[in-house]
Protein backbone atom coordinates (compact mmCIF):
# COMPACT_ATOMS: atom_id res chain seq x y z
CA UNK A 1 0.00 0.00 0.00
CA UNK A 2 0.94 3.65 -0.08
CA UNK A 3 3.43 4.79 2.53
CA UNK A 4 4.96 8.08 3.53
CA UNK A 5 8.54 8.50 4.70
CA UNK A 6 8.97 11.56 6.88
CA UNK A 7 12.33 12.96 7.88
CA UNK A 8 14.02 13.81 10.05
CA UNK A 9 12.51 11.85 12.93
CA UNK A 10 13.58 14.52 15.40
CA UNK A 11 15.31 17.88 15.46
CA UNK A 12 16.95 19.88 18.22
CA UNK A 13 17.42 23.49 17.24
CA UNK A 14 18.19 26.87 18.76
CA UNK A 15 15.48 29.52 18.97
CA UNK A 16 15.63 31.73 15.90
CA UNK A 17 16.87 29.03 13.55
CA UNK A 18 14.98 27.93 10.44
CA UNK A 19 13.63 24.38 10.24
CA UNK A 20 13.03 22.15 7.26
CA UNK A 21 11.34 18.75 7.11
CA UNK A 22 9.96 16.63 4.31
CA UNK A 23 7.84 13.69 3.32
CA UNK A 24 8.43 11.39 0.39
CA UNK A 25 6.56 8.52 -1.17
CA UNK A 26 7.04 6.04 -3.97
CA UNK A 27 3.42 6.73 -4.96
CA UNK A 28 1.70 9.82 -6.27
CA UNK A 29 -0.52 11.83 -3.95
CA UNK A 30 -3.12 14.38 -5.02
CA UNK A 31 -3.28 16.17 -1.70
CA UNK A 32 -0.72 16.91 1.00
CA UNK A 33 -1.55 18.15 4.48
CA UNK A 34 0.69 19.24 7.33
CA UNK A 35 -0.36 18.97 10.98
CA UNK A 36 1.18 19.94 14.29
CA UNK A 37 0.53 18.06 17.52
CA UNK A 38 1.27 19.59 20.90
CA UNK A 39 1.98 17.17 23.77
CA UNK A 40 -1.20 15.52 25.00
CA UNK A 41 -3.37 17.12 22.32
CA UNK A 42 -4.82 16.15 18.96
CA UNK A 43 -3.14 17.19 15.67
CA UNK A 44 -4.05 20.61 14.35
CA UNK A 45 -4.10 21.33 10.63
CA UNK A 46 -1.44 23.84 9.54
CA UNK A 47 -1.44 23.84 5.76
CA UNK A 48 -3.29 22.02 2.97
CA UNK A 49 -1.85 21.63 -0.56
CA UNK A 50 -3.91 20.54 -3.55
CA UNK A 51 -1.83 21.24 -6.68
CA UNK A 52 1.59 20.04 -7.76
CA UNK A 53 4.11 22.86 -7.39
CA UNK A 54 1.87 24.78 -5.00
CA UNK A 55 3.65 26.85 -2.37
CA UNK A 56 1.53 27.98 0.58
CA UNK A 57 2.38 30.01 3.66
CA UNK A 58 0.77 30.28 7.07
CA UNK A 59 2.66 32.89 9.08
CA UNK A 60 6.21 31.63 9.57
CA UNK A 61 5.32 28.27 8.02
CA UNK A 62 5.70 27.51 4.33
CA UNK A 63 4.83 24.22 2.67
CA UNK A 64 5.30 23.02 -0.88
CA UNK A 65 3.65 20.30 -2.94
CA UNK A 66 6.46 18.68 -4.94
CA UNK A 67 6.33 18.80 -8.73
CA UNK A 68 6.57 15.03 -8.98
CA UNK A 69 3.57 14.74 -6.57
CA UNK A 70 5.64 12.28 -4.56
CA UNK A 71 6.94 14.68 -1.95
CA UNK A 72 6.18 17.70 0.18
CA UNK A 73 8.24 20.05 2.33
CA UNK A 74 7.53 22.15 5.40
CA UNK A 75 9.73 25.03 6.45
CA UNK A 76 9.50 27.02 9.66
CA UNK A 77 11.35 30.31 9.76
CA UNK A 78 12.78 31.96 12.88
CA UNK A 79 11.65 29.23 15.27
CA UNK A 80 10.27 30.10 18.69
CA UNK A 81 9.75 27.92 21.78
CA UNK A 82 6.04 27.39 21.05
CA UNK A 83 6.97 25.64 17.78
CA UNK A 84 7.85 22.61 19.91
CA UNK A 85 5.75 19.58 19.05
CA UNK A 86 5.38 16.81 16.52
CA UNK A 87 4.78 17.69 12.88
CA UNK A 88 2.98 15.21 10.65
CA UNK A 89 2.58 15.10 6.92
CA UNK A 90 -0.44 13.36 5.44
CA UNK A 91 -1.40 12.42 1.91
CA UNK A 92 -4.77 11.53 0.48
CA UNK A 93 -5.02 7.83 -0.27
CA UNK A 94 -5.72 7.38 -3.96
CA UNK A 95 -9.17 6.03 -4.65
CA UNK A 96 -10.47 6.81 -1.18
CA UNK A 97 -13.26 9.17 -0.22
CA UNK A 98 -11.08 10.94 2.28
CA UNK A 99 -8.71 8.49 3.96
CA UNK A 100 -5.34 10.01 4.76
CA UNK A 101 -2.00 8.27 5.08
CA UNK A 102 0.22 9.81 7.76
CA UNK A 103 3.96 10.08 8.10
CA UNK A 104 5.42 9.02 11.44
CA UNK A 105 6.15 12.59 12.44
CA UNK A 106 9.07 14.92 13.09
CA UNK A 107 9.58 15.81 16.74
CA UNK A 108 10.84 19.37 17.06
CA UNK A 109 12.61 20.67 20.15
CA UNK A 110 13.59 24.33 20.43
CA UNK A 111 16.19 25.58 22.89
CA UNK A 112 15.52 29.14 24.09
CA UNK B 1 -14.35 26.81 13.90
CA UNK B 2 -14.64 23.07 13.56
CA UNK B 3 -15.07 21.43 16.89
CA UNK B 4 -14.47 17.75 17.55
CA UNK B 5 -14.92 16.64 21.12
CA UNK B 6 -14.11 13.35 22.78
CA UNK B 7 -15.89 12.12 25.89
CA UNK B 8 -12.82 11.65 28.07
CA UNK B 9 -9.24 12.93 28.06
CA UNK B 10 -7.98 10.14 30.31
CA UNK B 11 -9.45 6.73 31.01
CA UNK B 12 -8.24 3.79 33.06
CA UNK B 13 -9.93 0.44 32.55
CA UNK B 14 -9.31 -3.13 33.61
CA UNK B 15 -8.56 -6.02 31.29
CA UNK B 16 -11.76 -7.58 29.99
CA UNK B 17 -13.93 -4.50 30.50
CA UNK B 18 -16.08 -3.15 27.68
CA UNK B 19 -14.96 0.37 26.86
CA UNK B 20 -16.86 3.07 24.99
CA UNK B 21 -15.10 6.09 23.49
CA UNK B 22 -17.41 8.79 22.19
CA UNK B 23 -16.70 11.43 19.58
CA UNK B 24 -18.95 14.32 18.57
CA UNK B 25 -18.41 16.88 15.81
CA UNK B 26 -20.44 20.04 15.31
CA UNK B 27 -19.68 20.81 11.64
CA UNK B 28 -22.17 18.48 9.96
CA UNK B 29 -19.28 16.47 8.48
CA UNK B 30 -20.12 13.27 6.64
CA UNK B 31 -16.83 11.49 7.32
CA UNK B 32 -15.59 10.41 10.74
CA UNK B 33 -12.49 8.44 11.68
CA UNK B 34 -10.94 6.67 14.66
CA UNK B 35 -7.16 6.37 14.98
CA UNK B 36 -4.81 5.12 17.61
CA UNK B 37 -1.42 6.69 18.12
CA UNK B 38 1.56 4.89 19.60
CA UNK B 39 5.18 6.05 19.89
CA UNK B 40 7.17 5.12 16.81
CA UNK B 41 4.10 3.85 14.95
CA UNK B 42 2.39 7.12 14.12
CA UNK B 43 -1.36 7.31 13.52
CA UNK B 44 -3.05 4.10 12.53
CA UNK B 45 -6.61 4.01 11.22
CA UNK B 46 -8.97 1.71 13.14
CA UNK B 47 -12.37 2.38 11.56
CA UNK B 48 -14.03 5.07 9.51
CA UNK B 49 -17.51 6.04 8.46
CA UNK B 50 -18.72 8.02 5.44
CA UNK B 51 -22.34 8.18 6.50
CA UNK B 52 -24.79 7.37 9.26
CA UNK B 53 -25.00 3.64 10.02
CA UNK B 54 -22.12 3.05 7.66
CA UNK B 55 -18.71 1.77 8.78
CA UNK B 56 -15.56 0.52 7.12
CA UNK B 57 -12.54 -1.23 8.57
CA UNK B 58 -9.27 0.61 8.61
CA UNK B 59 -5.81 -0.85 8.97
CA UNK B 60 -6.12 -2.28 12.50
CA UNK B 61 -9.79 -3.09 13.28
CA UNK B 62 -9.17 -6.24 15.31
CA UNK B 63 -10.52 -5.96 18.85
CA UNK B 64 -12.62 -2.88 18.03
CA UNK B 65 -16.07 -2.08 16.75
CA UNK B 66 -17.82 1.19 16.00
CA UNK B 67 -21.28 2.68 15.93
CA UNK B 68 -22.64 5.65 14.01
CA UNK B 69 -26.33 6.12 14.75
CA UNK B 70 -26.29 9.89 14.26
CA UNK B 71 -24.31 12.00 11.84
CA UNK B 72 -22.50 13.97 14.51
CA UNK B 73 -21.53 11.05 16.73
CA UNK B 74 -19.07 8.20 16.15
CA UNK B 75 -18.38 5.71 18.93
CA UNK B 76 -15.45 3.35 19.28
CA UNK B 77 -16.04 0.20 21.31
CA UNK B 78 -13.47 -2.10 22.82
CA UNK B 79 -15.48 -5.26 23.41
CA UNK B 80 -13.01 -6.74 25.89
CA UNK B 81 -10.15 -4.40 26.66
CA UNK B 82 -6.63 -5.79 26.67
CA UNK B 83 -3.35 -4.27 27.82
CA UNK B 84 -2.12 -3.97 24.23
CA UNK B 85 -4.96 -1.53 23.61
CA UNK B 86 -3.36 0.99 25.94
CA UNK B 87 -2.87 3.95 23.64
CA UNK B 88 -3.89 7.47 22.63
CA UNK B 89 -7.15 7.37 20.66
CA UNK B 90 -7.91 10.17 18.26
CA UNK B 91 -11.18 10.94 16.51
CA UNK B 92 -11.34 13.05 13.36
CA UNK B 93 -13.98 14.32 10.96
CA UNK B 94 -14.01 15.75 7.46
CA UNK B 95 -16.49 16.95 4.88
CA UNK B 96 -17.42 14.56 2.10
CA UNK B 97 -14.67 14.86 -0.52
CA UNK B 98 -16.95 14.92 -3.55
CA UNK B 99 -18.90 17.91 -2.23
CA UNK B 100 -15.91 20.20 -2.08
CA UNK B 101 -12.26 19.76 -2.87
CA UNK B 102 -11.26 19.34 0.73
CA UNK B 103 -9.74 16.33 2.40
CA UNK B 104 -8.84 18.13 5.57
CA UNK B 105 -9.46 16.10 8.68
CA UNK B 106 -10.07 17.86 11.98
CA UNK B 107 -9.07 16.08 15.15
CA UNK B 108 -10.39 15.92 18.67
CA UNK B 109 -8.08 16.33 21.69
CA UNK B 110 -7.62 12.60 22.12
CA UNK B 111 -8.36 10.06 24.85
CA UNK B 112 -5.43 8.48 26.60
CA UNK B 113 -6.61 5.00 27.54
CA UNK B 114 -4.74 2.82 29.98
CA UNK B 115 -5.78 -0.82 30.37
CA UNK B 116 -4.42 -2.53 33.47
Given this model, what pLDDT does residue B104 score? 87
Per residue in B46-88, pLDDT (tens digit) is: 999 988 999 999 999 999 999 999 999 999 999 999 999 999 9
Per residue in A35-82, pLDDT (tens digit) is: 999 988 999 999 999 999 999 999 999 999 999 999 999 999 999 999
Cα–Cα dist A56/B4, whole Å? 25
Inter-chain CB proximity B40 and A92 less than 8 Å: no
Given this model, what pLDDT does residue A52 score? 92
Give residue B93's pLDDT band: very low, low, confident or very high (50, 70, 90). very high
pLDDT higher than 90, residue A94: no
Given this model, what pLDDT does residue B102 score? 66
Given this model, what pLDDT does residue A105 score? 94
CA distances from B30 to A9, A100, B96, B112, B115 (A): 33, 15, 5, 25, 31
Q: Mean pLDDT throughout B2-20?
A: 94
β-sheet bridge partners, residue B76: B21, B66
Q: Mean pLDDT throughout B90-102?
A: 77
Cα–Cα dist B86/B65, whole Å? 16
What's the mean per-residue pLDDT of chain B?
Answer: 92
Q: Which residue of A has its CA nearest to B109?
A: A42
Per residue in B58-69, pLDDT (tens digit) is: 999 999 999 999
Segment among A1-5, A47-51, B10-14 with least mean pLDDT: A1-5
How near does any CA of chain A get to the CA of B66, in Å?
A: 17
How near does any CA of chain B get to the CA of A21, in Å?
A: 16
Partners of residue A92 in chain B, C-beta under 8 Å: 103
pLDDT higher than 70, residue B101: no
pLDDT higher than 70, residue B2: no
A45, A50, A97: residue with CB nearest B101: A50
Amino acid sequence: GQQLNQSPQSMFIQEGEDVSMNCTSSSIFNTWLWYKQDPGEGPVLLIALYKAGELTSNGRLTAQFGITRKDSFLNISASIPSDVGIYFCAGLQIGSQGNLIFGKGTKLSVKP
Amino acid sequence: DVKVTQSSRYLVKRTGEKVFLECVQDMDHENMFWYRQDPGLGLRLIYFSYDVKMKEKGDIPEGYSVSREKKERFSLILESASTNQTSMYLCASSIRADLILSYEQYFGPGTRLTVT
